[in-house]
Structure 1
Amino acid sequence: MALHKDGWGHDVTAADAAAVARLDGAILAYCGMRVDIGDRMKTVFEADAEMPMALAAKTAFLKMFATAKMDAAAAKTHAQLSAVIAAGETTARERAHAGALGHYVAGDLGAACDAWEAILIDHPRDLFAIKLAQLNRFYLGQPSAMRGGIARALHGWSEAMPGYGYLLGSYAFALEEAGHYPEAERHGRRAIEIDPTDIWAAHAVAHVMEMQGHSGQGYGWLDVLKGEWAGVHNFKHHAHWHRALFALDLGLHDDVLDIHDRDIWTEVAGDYLDISNAASLLWRLEEEGVDVGDRWAPVAALSAERVEEHALVFATCHFAMALAGDGGDGEGHADALDRLEAAQAAHMRAHPDTTFAHVWRAAGAAIVKAVRASRAGRPGEAVDHLLPARAEILRIGGSHAQRDVFERLLLSAALADGRDALARALISERLAARPEERWTLACCRALDTGEVRADGATATA
């Protein structure tokens, strides 16, 4: 093997330049969330089975599935990478990626992010490191760090470089989560001008509109762009989830159910993000008194298969939500929920220093208990679990929009339990951010009139 340049000017240890070019294409496909990432990676390994950066990419891609089976495959691939590095000459950057991935495979997301961001000090054009750091800062609930990591790399880029639009879209999302809305929208719109299929940028702009309560504008933005997503993998379901949230805020319940059935819970749905999309949307609909029929059942069935996974607390909380939601009383899948809580507690004791353990202890366990209590008709218990952990919910990761389902749960439970002072304070806080949010205004009216259902559901029609 020899050194060859990749599309960003880095030295890459590889059999030939053609293999490096194929890896460049796979990384760009990852950034574009394209459905052909796997096929592209196969062609990379056909050209060079031992390229260190290809093994690094494969390790990361396997880890992103967030399942026990894929975690094991990621660890195996990382061992291959480590063996290749030990056996021959490699670059400092390649060795640094191997080190970062070692932390990732071991479940220490913070150390992995620190390592990727250290790579960016010397290699600010390392788009793969940028994306991996962003993904994991996102699931650490660290928006300011997510923004700063990309901002420190901007000086190395120009519009002529491959993936420049993906850089802008990533920065747009980081800016939005950190609360810099005008700048986020500007960068996101520029990324879409460069590439209308860039769904991460499209979703970043949608987040800006969501956080400011611009539901009509947000629905229209995504409705125009949805035709560009034919080549996008399951992440397009999440973009449609945002469309559904906008429709929900506009009171278009039939449209929300239609989006769920056609664009969110499709025949290929099933990964943790699909489950999270469906569970949080169905939960919100039922909060508004909408009959969702039998839509919980397939989401709960898949969640029941994943109760012993320990990749992301964010995912585990949504598995619990699906299990509690199906049946309507919190006990329809009591055995699976019991197994989920027991498995996480056991994992936390056995692996106390992993990111999952720290976050589960701080917020995850309380969220799951609150979800169960809420659906079982014990709203006071839900409040007692969730309110003390509220400041730590950020740590489960996900976006502000995704975590808001737990904020809504707290308010619904406070209303149902007759904790009027707390409910009014939570309503005041929500309306200060989004004065015209339809559901919150309905909660305010229900509180003023005393028309609150025992389960906390609030009519918003």
Structure 2
Amino acid sequence: MNRDRYGLPLTTTSDRAAAYYREGVDCMLSAWHGAEDAFDKAIAEDPTFALAHVGRARLHQLNMEGGNARALAAQARELAAGATSREKGHVEVIAAAIEGKPKLAVSGAEAHLEEYPRDAQVLSMLLGAFGLYAFSGRADHDAAKLAICERHASHYGEDWWFLGYLGWSHTEAGNLSIGRRLSERAMELRSANANTAHGLSHAMFEQGDMAAGRQFLSQWMPAHDRKSFLHGHLAWHVALTLLDAGDLDGALAIYEQHIKPAGRPYPPLNIFTDGASLLWRLALAGQTGLEAHWRDVAAYGEKYFPQAGAHFADLHFALAAAITGNNALEARLAQLEARAADGKLLPGQAAIDLCRGIRAFAQGDNAKAIRLLEPALAELTRIGGSHAQRELWEDTLIVAYMRAGHGDRAARRISARLDRRPSARDEAWSRQAQRS
């Protein structure tokens, strides 16, 4: 019988289909270009291979090709009727996520992993900054990611994919030295692994080791296929290190070369949130002349996220709409209020207050921005994403403090951050706060 790389049986009699499937899974787990082609080849070799269909469906979902994703997931369900119980459960978890049933996907994944802990693709669905736990609205999602990794660690040993995600989960849970060590070990096991390069970048960022992060990525990225879906986001990490060093022109050049919407082969959620957040950070740092870029990002958001639903995108939609000053933000806030009333806005009222606070800040009403943002930050983790991504809202509050003449409050916030992580930018802001 054919098996996947983790020794789990595959219901296909085609050795070639199984080999292409293993290649596709490894590309997905390493965030490396080639998964689409590999799954397509697996399906061509064996059109009845359910797991190849649902793997391809997941890639369609990431690229916001919803119709294709749902069609292939439905086909995978039909094909799985003749497969093993493990494969049936695997298909059901991924299909639930594709069909917009995140709670069912989470509970299904947790139960599935109790019986099949080495089903790495199912485990991967729960993890990461954009995984099911992160976007669940839970305040403890960082702890949940680490807990499920540790629960199943004995089944993986020195597996390159697992160590990478275990390391990143430690990093996001605040165990920085452990997270960095595990991430470095995973890179030793497989250097062609963008997911672990990403996790290692986060560890360096959280430790305040910006120069090391920039050096690591500058040496590693040239060998990374630019069509791989994390390439633009890794460039965003380089830009963060340049912002910390005060190199605004360098950070803007990264945006223009790697991130701005221009036919990029990356998932729309990455393109939109990376673009909006980097432009906002540049504006906070004093960069001018960004108007054309903001119009591009706003148009991209309206194209790919025209209605409220993906709350992390909605919060970044607020950034672009607030800066461009169009009426789209009012409509989006009304949609968010309706979702909150129906219990469908997973982060709850905090998400709405963060959007309103951003709008007040963009309008120059720093007092109102402070009133909205300050209490909402206590619930900030509920919006998902990583620590590095969520820091934008605290950055905005700090600048609002200084613009409103509350240098003492800004200084306290900055001091707490400097106690956790050295930062050249925060040190500069601390000096500015003491003068304001």
**TM-score, L = length of structure 1:** 0.86
Amino acid corresponding to residue 321 of structure 2 in structure 1: L
Q: Secondary structure at the match of 2:167?
A: helix
Amino acid corresponding to residue 429 of structure 1 in structure 2: A
Equivalent position of 2:404 in the other structure: 417
Task: Say whether 1:339 aligns with 2:331.
Answer: yes
Q: Secondary structure at the match of 1:358?
A: coil
User: Which of 132, 138, 159 is equivalent to 1:136?
Assistant: 132
Instruction: Assess, with a 3 A threshold, how the Cα gap between structure 1 residues 232 and 226 changes in structure 2: closer, same or farther.
Output: same
Task: Say whether 1:100 aligns with 2:105.
Answer: no
Kept in 1: contact 2:73–2:91 (CA 8 A): yes
Equivalent position of 1:153 in the other structure: 152
Q: Secondary structure at the match of 2:405?
A: coil
Question: What are the residue-to-residue correspondences of 1:111-260 with 2, within 5 Å?
Answer: 111-134=104-127, 135-140=131-136, 142-159=141-158, 164-230=159-225, 232-260=227-255
Kept in 2: contact 1:137–1:145 (CA 8 A): yes
User: Which of 270, 275, 300 is equivalent to 1:273?
Assistant: 270
Q: Secondary structure at the match of 2:82?
A: coil
- 1:225-268 residue CA offsets vs partner (Å, 9 max, x unmatched): 11121255131111111111111111222221222222322633
| 1:60 Cα offset (Å) | 2.5
| 1:420 Cα offset (Å) | 4.3
Distance in 2 separating the partners of 1:407 and 1:386:
8
Amino acid corresponding to residue 337 of structure 1 in structure 2: L
Distance in 1 separating the partners of 2:340 and 2:93:
23
Distance in 2 separating the partners of 1:433 and 1:158:
31
Kept in 1: contact 2:411–2:434 (CA 8 A): no
- 1:156-194 residue CA offsets vs partner (Å, 9 max, x unmatched): 2345xxxx2122212211111111111211121122222
Task: Say whether 1:431 aligns with 2:418.
Answer: yes
Identity over aligned residues, as a percent? 26
Amino acid corresponding to residue 100 of structure 1 in structure 2: V
| 1:346 Cα offset (Å) | 3.9
User: Which of 290, 296, 299 is equivalent to 2:297?
Assistant: 299
Amino acid corresponding to residue 403 of structure 1 in structure 2: R
| 1:348 Cα offset (Å) | 4.7
Equivalent position of 2:257 in the other structure: 262
Distance in 1 separating the partners of 2:46 and 2:56:
13
Equivalent position of 1:455 in the other structure: none
Equivalent position of 2:427 in the other structure: 441
Equivalent position of 1:453 in the other structure: none
Distance in 1 separating the partners of 2:236 and 2:304:
22
Runs of 4+ deviating beyond 6 Å: none
Kept in 1: contact 2:408–2:433 (CA 8 A): no
**TM-score, L = length of structure 2:** 0.90
Task: Give the alignment's Cα RMSD to 1 decimal.
Answer: 2.3
| 1:23 Cα offset (Å) | 1.3
**For structure 1, which segment, 273-282 or 107-116, has the greater mean C-alpha deviation from structure 2 after superposition?**
107-116
Runs (5+) with no aligned partner, structure 1: 451-461
Equivalent position of 1:20 in the other structure: 18
Q: May I ask how many residue pairs the two structures share in their alignment?
A: 427
Distance in 2 separating the partners of 1:230 and 1:297:
29
Equivalent position of 1:362 in the other structure: 349
Distance in 2 separating the partners of 1:173 and 1:279:
24
| 1:421 Cα offset (Å) | 4.6
Task: Say whether 1:286 aligns with 2:283.
Answer: yes
Distance in 2 separating the partners of 1:109 and 1:442:
42
Equivalent position of 1:5 in the other structure: 3
**For structure 1, which segment, 103-112 or 208-217, has the greater mean C-alpha deviation from structure 2 after superposition?**
103-112
Distance in 2 separating the partners of 1:7 and 1:121:
19
Instruction: Assess, with a 3 A threshold, how the Cα gap between structure 1 residues 194 and 241 changes in structure 2: closer, same or farther.
Output: same
Equivalent position of 2:362 in the other structure: 375
Kept in 2: contact 1:237–1:265 (CA 8 A): no
Equivalent position of 2:78 in the other structure: 83
- 1:377-428 residue CA offsets vs partner (Å, 9 max, x unmatched): 1112212222222121111111000100011111112222234453233223
Kept in 2: contact 1:177–1:399 (CA 8 A): yes
Instruction: Assess, with a 3 A threshold, how the Cα gap between structure 1 residues 344 and 308 changes in structure 2: closer, same or farther.
Output: farther
Distance in 2 separating the partners of 1:375 and 1:91:
55
Amino acid corresponding to residue 341 of structure 1 in structure 2: L
Instruction: Assess, with a 3 A threshold, how the Cα gap between structure 1 residues 348 and 44 changes in structure 2: closer, same or farther.
Output: farther
Distance in 2 separating the partners of 1:98 and 1:253:
46
Distance in 2 separating the partners of 1:129 and 1:307:
26
Instruction: Assess, with a 3 A threshold, how the Cα gap between structure 1 residues 62 and 84 changes in structure 2: closer, same or farther.
Output: same
Distance in 1 separating the partners of 2:343 and 2:51:
28
Instruction: Assess, with a 3 A threshold, how the Cα gap between structure 1 residues 143 and 442 changes in structure 2: closer, same or farther.
Output: same
